[in-house]
Copies of this chain bind each other. A is one copy, B any other.
Amino acid sequence: MPANNQNNLNNGISVDCVIFGFDFEKLQILLIEREPGKKDNPLDYALPGDLIYNDENLDQAANRVLKELTGLENIYLEQSAAFGSLDRTQRESDRAWLESVRDQPDLRVITISYYSLVNINAFDPKPSSFASKLVWKPVAEIEDLAFDHFDILNQALDNLRNRLKIRPIGFNLLPEKFTLSQLHKLYEAILGRELDKRNFRRKMAKLDLVVRLDEKQQGVPHKPSNFYKFNTENYQKLIEEGYDNFGF
């Protein structure tokens, strides 16, 4: 055994997933609603996440945990950051919860966060395991989360925004067919600021990342908008050329 207890290697490693979704209005995030503790605490939300196994690597763990807790599979997942503050599991409400689900609630746990972008309408979140209840929450309305998950969320959002300047990953949040207005609103939702409609469309057109389909919206009480799809080939071409100015 090690000589000093500072180095007794009794560490846990977890992954936490920040799952962004878009409902054509606001940027949302998928959270686990935890049972309120003994006290009449307000409702309490946490990111989907869990300890990793010893025989899987980090990406595998993130995919597994996500599947186990939400049913999501084969989705875009990007590593975000590592969090390892000593006090990250020391809040009272969190400790009670840990005691109910962990063999070693006192274990010091370092977490690796991932973020993901999904089409909010394309899947049916299936709570399981200790994720008793899954809910989508608008990111902008979240003020706190369990553990240090609020920090993790903000970090992920920051990474997402930076990434969006370099890669057009936002398309992951949309269904296969979408309108330019939806795409426009998506960028505004992620970036948290307004973008001029004409300038947005001009740049999108120049990038040549979308293809106009011969199909329109139906049943809307106004001029129906045209559907588009993502142009994978052109995207690949741009990336191979080293192009990386996808920002607004």
Contact = CB atoms under 8 A, between A and B. Distances in A.
A1 B162 CA distance: 42
Interface residues of A, number: 36
A7 interface: yes
A110 interface: yes
Given A9-B104, A53-B7, A55-B6, A82 B85 contact: no
Interface in A100-150: 103-104, 107-108, 110, 112
A6 B103 contact: no
A5 interface: yes
Nearest to A8: B54
A191 to B, nearest CB: 12
Q: Which 3 pairs across A and B sit closest by C-beta, in order of nearness? A: A58-B84, A6-B53, A82-B112
Interface of A: 1-3, 5-13, 51-58, 61, 79, 81-86, 103-104, 107-108, 110, 112, 162, 166
